[in-house]
Amino acid sequence: MLAIISFVLCISNLASSSALPATSPSPPKSSPLPLVVWHGLGDNYAADGLTMVGKLAQKVNPGTYVHIIRLDEDVSADRGATFFGNLTEQIAQVCEDLAAHPVLSKARAINALGFSQGGQFLRGYVERCNSPSVQNLVTFGSQHNGISRFQDCAATDWLCKAAIGLLRTNTWSTFIQNRLVPAQYYREVNETTGLGGDQYLKYSNFLADINNERAAKNKTYAANIAKLRKFVMYVFEDDTTVIPKESGWFAEVNATTQAMTPLRNRTLYNEDWIGLKKLDEKDGLVFRTAPGPHMELSDEMLEEAFKQYFGPDPEADEMDDWVLVDQEHDRAHIDGSMPQDL
């Protein structure tokens, strides 16, 4: 079994998801928004698990255009980029790719699904770019409040071992922060203040910034999160990979006593550093639990989430703009072929 924040998506009961949706002669009144998926550490965009997720999304909500984010068209380079790289640059690249994408760039909005670290990276996308803008953001087993420990890698995963070995040398050096992905959401807490530790605040290349933990707060970040319709955060009940697992709900866990401070009791929420309070006040913040260990998803679980959060938008106009601009794709779908770049 894989360890760290890994990683690779496991889905059970796939039998029912392999069938394509029945073809329908007329498009639905309002089509679902396109869905963008960002995978986790050690995974790659072409992995079977992700293709299955895309098919399942289309089965639940026929007509959904699915795009799996990739940092590189080359599969092993895309996997490598989950361990190595500078997240500022990786997110900027994803921003550019989505903004230039022939279908996504013309969508009225998109939905976003983040698996494990892909969840906080999509949140970074929303805060920093959000063009096309995200309507519903759903994250599974993410590390929104960082990790307080690096775990071990699978015995034969040399890429993972190389990465984690380096991480442990000096997490806060610029060299590591510029290159090692998990180091950029590693977080330490100051025992006196209960806030981010000095080194973390000074050197974190990603998390301290997107969580607006530094003195200078970026108002755009908060405004963009508050603009979401729903931000749904799933934590796996038996997650032993993400430490602490409640990071997926932005909770703070005392490393000594294990006492948990929920998001709504934290300064980050009460001073509304990133717009979560504002979102909560309009009922947009959703805390959910998924059964099982890290990233072991059943298709029932996913189907329920897709139905609830990625379905046709009842408030949308009869025809979404992107459907009008993308009739080629729509026809392809009705013909029953896979209308996307899975």
Ligand X SMILES: *[C@@H]1O[C@H](CO)[C@@H](O)[C@H](O)[C@H]1NC(C)=O
Read off the tokens for 186.
Answer: 């590693």
**CB-nearer residue toward ligand X: 22 or 100:** 100
Read off the tokens for 136.
Answer: 């519903």
Read off the tokens for 145.
Answer: 């409040």
Q: Catalytic: 294?
A: yes
Measured at the CA of 115, the angle between CA 112 and CA 118, to 5 degrees, comes to 75
CA distances from 310 to 22, 131, 314 (A): 19, 18, 11
Question: What are the residues binding ligand X (CB under 6 A)?
Answer: 86, 88-89, 128, 174, 177-178, 189-194, 197-198, 205, 218, 220, 254, 256-257, 261-262, 265
HSE on the CB side for 268, CA within 13 Å?
A: 23
Q: Catalytic: 326?
A: no
Read off the tokens for 62.
Answer: 């026929």
Q: Which one of 78, 209, 239, 313 is the catalytic residue?
A: 239
Least separation in angstroms between residue 197's CB and ligand X is 4
Least separation in angstroms between residue 17's CB and ligand X is 36
Give the three-state DSSP class for 59: helix
**CB-nearer residue toward ligand X: 91 or 103:** 91
| DSSP calls for 60-93 | HSTT--EEE--S-SSHHHHHHHHHBS-HHHHHHH
**CB-nearer residue toward ligand X: 194 or 291:** 194
Least separation in angstroms between residue 329's CB and ligand X is 30
Chain residue whose CB lies nearest ligand X:
178
Least separation in angstroms between residue 286's CB and ligand X is 19
Least separation in angstroms between residue 120's CB and ligand X is 15
Place of tokens 């770019």: 129
**CB-nearer residue toward ligand X: 12 or 190:** 190
Q: Which one of 101, 294, 329, 333 is the catalytic residue?
A: 294
**Contact indicator for 117, 186 with CB cutoff of 8 Å:** no
Q: Catalytic: 239?
A: yes
**CB-nearer residue toward ligand X: 51 or 261:** 261
Q: Which one of 116, 142, 204, 247 is the catalytic residue?
A: 116
| DSSP calls for 223-277 | HHHHT-SEEEEEEETT--SSSSGGGGGT-EE-TTT--EE-GGGSHHHHTTTTSHH
Least separation in angstroms between residue 88's CB and ligand X is 4
Give the three-state DSSP class for 172: coil
Q: Is the peptide bond before 291 cis (omega within 30 degrees of 0)?
A: no
Least separation in angstroms between residue 177's CB and ligand X is 4
**CB-nearer residue toward ligand X: 154 or 201:** 201
| DSSP calls for 290-327 | ESSSTTEEEHHHHHHHHHHHSS--TTS-SS-HHHHHTH
**CB-nearer residue toward ligand X: 198 or 281:** 198
**Active-site residue list:** 116, 239, 294
